[in-house]
Amino acid sequence: MSISEMNFLQRMIYIFQEYSGSLAKGAATTMAIAIISTFLGCVIGFAVGIVQTLEPRKKDNLVYRVLVKVFKLILTGYVELFRGTPMMLQAAFIFYGASQVFSINLGMWQAAILIVSINTGAYMAETVRGGILSVDIGQTEGAKAIGMNHFQTMLQVILPQALRNIMPQIGNNLIINIKDTSVLSIIGTVELFFTFKSISGALYTYFEAASVVLIIYFVLTFACSRLLLALENRMAGPVNFDLATTDTLTFTSGMTTFPRKQDQRRS
C-alpha cells in the first residue's frame, strides 16, 4: 500500500516507524541543547543578577563606583536587547555575523548552545534579581554586620534562599527552551523541528508529520514539568520543621510550621 492510499492514522504510524531513528536523534539533540543552555543561562543569569544588585556607597573609591555603573549599564543593555528581540533573528545575527565580520565559523553545537544560553541568561538575570529582592533585607544587613562583602553575602546567604523562590522559573525556562530550539533550524541545526521539515518535505505529509512531532514535543515538555515539580516539592522539605540548636536553654520545637496542603485548599 502506497502512502497516498493510507488514511491519516496509518500515515502517522508509517512516519513514526520509518523515521523513528531520525526523530529520536532530533529529540535527543533538542533535549541536549535545551538542558545545557538552560544550565549555562542560569550561570549567566546569576552572575548578571548579582552584579545588578551592587550598590556602591559614597565612601567607596570613585573609580570603583564608576566601573560598577558602567558595567551595570552594559549588562542592562544586554538584558534589554536579548529580551526585546526574537531568538530567530539573534541566531541568524550571531551565526552569520560571527562568520562574516569576525571570520569565526561556529559549529552546530557551539552556535546552538551559545545562542540559547545568552538568550536564557537575559531572562534569568531579571528572575535572579527578583529572587534576590524577595529575600528579607534583614538577611543582607545581618551578613554585612558580621563582615561579609557583597559577593559573600550573595553566594552564602541570599542565593541559597532565592534559589528555591526562582526554581519554578528555571523549570519554565527549560520547557521554553525545549520548544524554542526549533528556531535554530534557521542556521541548520538538526534538531526535532528540522527533522519535521525534512520528513514533511520528503513525503508531502505536513499535517501527519506535524502531528507526530507535536506529540513528541508534548511528551518531552510534560515529562520535564513533572520531574521539575517533584524537585520543587523535594526542595520544599517536610510540612513541619523543628529548628535544631545546641543550646539546651532555648526551646525551638514547633516554632516554624508550614500549613498542610489540605488546610490550604480549605482556605
Residue 266 included in any domain = no
pLDDT tens string, the chain, 267 residues long: the values are 677 778 888 999 999 999 999 999 999 999 999 999 999 999 999 899 888 888 877 777 888 888 889 999 999 999 999 999 999 999 999 999 888 888 888 888 899 999 999 999 999 998 888 888 888 888 888 888 888 887 888 888 888 888 888 888 899 999 999 999 999 998 989 999 999 999 988 888 899 999 999 999 999 999 999 998 888 888 766 554 455 555 555 444 444 444 555 555 555
Name the grid cell of 143. Answer: 551578613
Burial of residue 36, with CB atoms counted within 10 A of its CB: 0-12 exposed, 13-18 middle, 19 or more buried:
middle
Residue 250 included in any domain = no
Residue 136 included in any domain = yes
Do residues 189 and 92 lie in contact, with contact meaning Cβ atoms separated by under 8 Å? no
Tally of helices (H runs) and strands (E runs) in the chain: 11, 2
The model's pTM: 0.80
Name the grid cell of 161. Answer: 534562599
Residue 233 included in any domain = yes
How far is residue 50's CA from residue 68's CA, in Å, rounded to a whole number? 12
**Taking the mean position of all CA atoms in its chain, how far away is CA 3?**
40
Question: Which pLDDT tens digit goes with each residue over 212-243?
Answer: 999 999 999 999 999 988 888 887 665 544 55
Do residues 147 and 127 lie in contact, with contact meaning Cβ atoms separated by under 8 Å? no
Name the grid cell of 141. Answer: 544587613
Residue 186 included in any domain = yes
Q: Which residues contact 195 (CB under 8 A, 6 or more apart)?
A: 19, 22, 23, 25, 26, 213
Mean pLDDT estimate for the chain: 85
Residue 264 included in any domain = no
Residue 267 included in any domain = no
Which H or E element spans position 57?
none
Domain that holds residue 163: 3-240
Residue 189 included in any domain = yes
Q: What pLDDT sits at residue 31?
A: 96
Q: What is the CATH number of the domain that holds 165?
A: 1.10.3720.10
Q: Is the dihedral of CA 40, 139, 53, 66 positive or negative?
A: negative
Do residues 157 and 143 lie in contact, with contact meaning Cβ atoms separated by under 8 Å? yes
How many domains, in total, are found in the chain? Answer: 1
Do residues 169 and 45 lie in contact, with contact meaning Cβ atoms separated by under 8 Å? no
